[in-house]
Every structure is written in structure tokens, then in C-alpha cells.
Chains A and B, each alone.
Chain A
């Protein structure tokens, strides 16, 4: 038997502190988790999709590069293939979105025989310069969007879409 006996008052004090501590922790822990949650989130937008287009083959002439990623729409998962017009400006890679800023058709490089150095939208004859600048007098009201793009192991990797930074 131990010599230092615990009095009734002490015993109740310890017990209440212990139980109270558990209850406080039970309340505080989820709060702390909620507070730090935004830091732990993974940012999907920053992911790059690797394509099978070699960077060495890219010239100053825009080429179409397809890239596929998985898209979740509510409970329906599907593979989506998008494309980008990729070219080199000096040593810098540039990838433009093919989605027309007018009503969302797909634009083609040199799609019109009369304008071989422009992007052309077959729907309403919208045209863009090589850097995505929309040509005044044609229906589009803004420049083509740009993809973030980088070289990864010698291949083109395409990232998030953003506003055109070239014009």
C-alpha cells in the first residue's frame, strides 16, 4: 500500500480535470483540423498533363497537341481529350487554347486558305494572330486563352488554362 493517501477532495479533482480535458480535446481537435484543412488540400489545377509530343519537334509553326485527362462530373467519370496549339517563340514554348472566344468553336491554324498565318474559326470566320490576338472586325471579342506549358523529360506538358499573357 502506498503511504501518501489520496484524499476524497484530491481524487475528485483529478477525475474532473481528466474527464474535462478529454471533453475539451474532443471539441478542440476537429476545430483545429478544420482550421488547417485549406493548407492540406491538394491543388489539382497546378497539375501538368504529359503529352506525347517531343519538344524537339516543335517549330515556330503551331501544331496541334492532344492531351487526355480524367474528368469527374458529379458521379460520372470520363476521359476527356483536349488539344492545344503549341509553337516555339525563340526557345520559349507557347501553348494556346483552341477554343474560340466568340461562342466556343474549335479554331484551326491556317484553317482559311486566304489567311495562312492566322488561326481561323470555321463557324463565323473569326480570326486570330499567331499570338492569339483577335483580329478586329471578326466576331471574337478577346484573345485566345493560353495554357501553362513546360518541358518534362523532353516532352511537352500542359497545365492550367489562363488569360493570354502575350498580347
Chain B
């Protein structure tokens, strides 16, 4: 499910089935040197999460990317997000990011870090196959987590 009005209606009716929330974490870098790679990473992350949503539409709720600046306090963001999810019916939370700083944080469980691949110059069909490959790396992590706790 996407975080949009219509699908949230469906979510509210089917809360027992949709037990996983996916949070993309996105660093925004607006410096002249970093802007291009930051935008590329954003494109990659949003493509990947959209594909993931398509595969697991009936079990995950995909939030819009949580965006923050370079100097953001990751710990604070982590605490806020944890607190927000705490009182919901979600049993599993996944964070997807291309920002390596999240790897140093211990308080968040299930942070999937992926190195961003620049996909902007690929033609459509090649891009699709690259993204499918990327997705295949992520899928088992989800099914593993689900089979552990159900």
C-alpha cells in the first residue's frame, strides 16, 4: 500500500494482513558537488521501494521518504520514528536507505542499507532489469523476517 488516502482506507479495513511498514530514509544534499549524487540516490531509492511495494502490496505500507539534511541528527530521527510506530498494529518495520551513516546506529532494527546505483542514464528495459536484480536482494530479507515471527 502507498501512503495515499484511498489505500489507507483499504489498510484500515485490513490491518491484520498489512503488518509491515517500510520507511525509506533519504539524505538530501544540496551542495553543488553533492547534489547530483544525492538526486541519483533519491531516484534509486524511490524506484526500489516502489517496486517492492508492487511485489508486496498486500502486506506492506510504504511511507513517503523521510528526508533530512547532511548534518541531521540520525539518532533523533530514529527515536522519533520508533516512537511513532510503537503504538500501531505494525509488527515489522523496515528502513531502506542508501545513506551509510545509518549503519553506525544500533537503535534501529532492520535497516537495509544499499549502495545507490546511478540509473538515470539507463534505458527503460535495462533499468527494469537492474532494479529487479536489486529487488531480489531485498525480498529474502522480508520473507525471512516474516517467517520468523509468524
Contact = CB atoms under 8 A, between A and B. Distances in A.
A152 to B, nearest CB: 19
A106 B128 CA distance: 16
Interface in B111-150: 124-125, 128, 139, 143
Nearest to B14: A103
A105 B56 contact: yes
Contacts, number: 41
B54 interface: yes
Select the residue from B17, B59, B124 with max chain A CB neighbours within 10 A.
Answer: B59
A106 to B, nearest CB: 5
B18 interface: yes
Interface in B51-66: 54-59
A106 B139 CA distance: 12
Nearest to A82: B54
A106 B55 contact: yes
A29 B69 CA distance: 61
Instruction: Give the one of A68, A103, A123, A124 with max B CB within 10 A.
Output: A123
A104 B143 CA distance: 17
Contacts of B17: 102-103, 123-124, 139
Pairs of residues from A and B, 6 with the lowest C-beta to C-beta distance, nearest first: A103-B58, A123-B59, A104-B57, A105-B58, A123-B58, A106-B55
Interface of B: 10, 14, 17-18, 54-59, 124-125, 128, 139, 143
Interface of A: 66, 68, 79, 81, 100, 102-106, 121-124, 139
